[in-house]
Structure 1
Amino acid sequence: MKKKIEQLSNIIKESNNIVFFGGAGVSTASNIPDFRSSNGLFSKRLNRSFTPEQLVSHTFFMRYPEDFYEFYKEKLVYPDAKPNACHIALAELEAIEKLKAIVTQNIDGLHQMAGSKAVYELHGSVHRNYCMQCKTFYNGDYIVNSKGIPTCEACGGVIKPDVVLYEEGLDEDTVSNAVQAISEADTLIIGGTSLVVYPAAGLIQYFKGKNMVVINKTTTPADSKADLIISEDIAEVFAQVMRRLN
């Protein structure tokens, strides 16, 4: 691993336009598990079990908002989570103008908490929530502290998290910005994602730069195109890289 850390450090030194594309594995070191690894939910009211994917679908939210929020608040919202070494390193690389953008599939907001500014959240954020009727904004704390189905104080409407549920499309502006950033990058670092969730994973096809790096514990479809593959914990990798760079 030492040799690969040295190789990644050299790539970063020589790069002037790095884009980071990340997934659930980035937040694992912050004790946020991938929601798909859960057992789903057994609804006593409906007397049946649902898979994680069913529970975070648009159909399920509209039909069974109470059950949706039971799962959502337990498995997708982690108000006490803090940025780990990967989040912090990326913010530092942005500060010295090496890293130009982060394209993330995560909804936890930890990149912004670490100090990153150019973050394109493909799947939205748990920190943004809106009334479906009057569009009044509510932060994540309001949702966490609510009982049952969160409702709007202004009009009584149901509040929906600004996250992309299954069956919903990605935000066009966010995708456009992400594609532009990836297409202009000289180095693309793919981290903490197995690249199986589409259409998000398909965005890496727009990379035309010099170095593609994959940091993930398991194999990915991008491995065959990568110039460097590191199959280690991404937070530890970035901790070691930043020690070398500093």
Structure 2
Amino acid sequence: MIDKVVELLKKSKYTIAFTGAGISVESGVPPFRGDQGIWNRYNPQLLELDYFLANPEPSWKAIREIFYDFFTDAKPNSAHVVLAKLEELGILKAVVTQNIDDLHFKAGSKEVYEFHGNSQKLKCLKCGWTVNAHEADLNLLPPACVKCGGLLKPDFIFFGEGIPPLAYQKSFEAARNTDLVLVIGSTGEVMPACQVPYEAKRKGATVVEINPGESNFTHQITDIHLKMGAGKAMELIGEQFAQ
């Protein structure tokens, strides 16, 4: 099956990847859903926009623990690295990711559409100033903008908040243009992001799913299912492009 996927990649004129939490689990980033998911330990209400605006201090306490204590030391794994290599070779045209951990960029990918934003930037809700999360003082919560004193919010999508328009546009443009989509580590449960592979399929693309288990995509749009972890699968694929 790996050989078949490599053959498809070599023939493809426009390949994209669609990635979910499963690609980053091997980097130590916990998933949100499932038995070991973050929502088993934290109340999702803490990341509802209205709740955050009304109760920034308790929200920020959870945000700091989840995203900055857990994510800060995470490094790209082999799946991220191979995707970046495929882009460098001109095979992969774009990555559409549900993840907010910045690991695709850290691995060297350039054309990344972050459907849900990025946790590594904070934005002032008053003046719009943006700062890197590691440069902000998260010891005193909630953190304040040094420009105007306004409330800083992580620059990713909270519940009740719209998808960034440019990321949405580019993601679905890529889906309409692709002839091959690698779905890696996504359960297919989160709307509207999960519609990206469906749109690709509607336009005639071949769907390769890399997931150790089954997802909502598996029996609906998947053409080839590599039942293994993202790191191992992408390593095996990458080896055939290193020769």
TM-score calculated relative to the size of structure 1: 0.90
Which residue pairs with 1:7 in the alignment? 4
Match of 2:204 among 209, 220, 234: 209
The within-5 A match list for 1:60-75 is 60-75=51-66
Deviation at 1:64, TM superposition (A): 1.5
Unpaired stretches in structure 1, ≥5 consecutive residues: 42-50
Q: CA RMSD in A?
A: 1.4
Deviation at 1:8, TM superposition (A): 1.5
1:218 is the counterpart of 2:218: no
Match of 1:34 among 31, 35, 38: 31
Structure 1 contact 66–149 (Cα < 8 Å) conserved: yes
Structure 2 contact 181–207 (Cα < 8 Å) conserved: yes
Query: Following superposition, which runs of at least 4 residues in structure 1 exceed 2 angstroms of deviation?
Result: 38-41, 142-147
Deviation at 1:221, TM superposition (A): 2.2
CA displacement 1:49-74 (0-9 Å, x = unmatched): xx2x2121112211211111111121
Which residue pairs with 1:107 in the alignment? 100
1:239 is the counterpart of 2:235: yes
Percent identical pairs in the alignment equals 32
TM-score calculated relative to the size of structure 2: 0.91
Match of 1:177 among 150, 170, 173: 170
Deviation at 1:143, TM superposition (A): 4.2
Deviation at 1:85, TM superposition (A): 0.5
Q: Secondary structure of 1:223's partner?
A: coil
| Separation in structure 1 between the aligned mates of residue 27 and residue 91 of structure 2, nearest angstrom | 24
Structure 1 contact 25–191 (Cα < 8 Å) conserved: yes
Deviation at 1:209, TM superposition (A): 3.5
Deviation at 1:144, TM superposition (A): 6.5
Q: Secondary structure of 2:76's partner?
A: coil
Q: Secondary structure of 2:186's partner?
A: coil
Which residue pairs with 1:190 in the alignment? 183
Structure 2 contact 64–138 (Cα < 8 Å) conserved: no
Which residue pairs with 1:46 in the alignment? none
CA displacement 1:154-184 (0-9 Å, x = unmatched): 1111101111001111112211111011110
Which residue pairs with 1:134 in the alignment? 127
Deviation at 1:35, TM superposition (A): 3.2
Deviation at 1:11, TM superposition (A): 1.5
Which residue pairs with 1:47 in the alignment? none
Structure 2 contact 197–207 (Cα < 8 Å) conserved: no
Structure 2 contact 18–96 (Cα < 8 Å) conserved: yes
